Amino acid sequence: MVIFDSSIIIDALRKKKSAKDLIESYAEKEQIAITVISKYEILKGTTEKDADLVSGLLNQFVIYDFEDSVVVEAVKAHKKLVEKGKMVNELDVLIAGIAATNNETLITKDNDFLNFESAKIIVR
pLDDT at 112: 92
Counting the structural domains of the chain, the total is 1
Q: Are 5 and 108 in contact (CB under 8 A)?
A: yes
Mean pLDDT confidence for 7-24 = 94
pTM for the structure as a whole:
0.90
Which residues constitute the domain of residue 99? 2-123
Residue 98 scores a pLDDT above 90: yes
Q: Is 113 helix (H, G, I), strand (E, B) or coil?
A: helix
Query: Which CATH number do you get for residue 55?
Result: 3.40.50.1010
| Residue 117: pLDDT band with limits 50, 70, 90 | confident
pLDDT at 87: 82
| Residue 58: pLDDT band with limits 50, 70, 90 | very high
**Cα–chain center distance at 35:** 6
Q: Which of 32, 93, 47, 119 is nearest to 9 (CA)?
A: 32
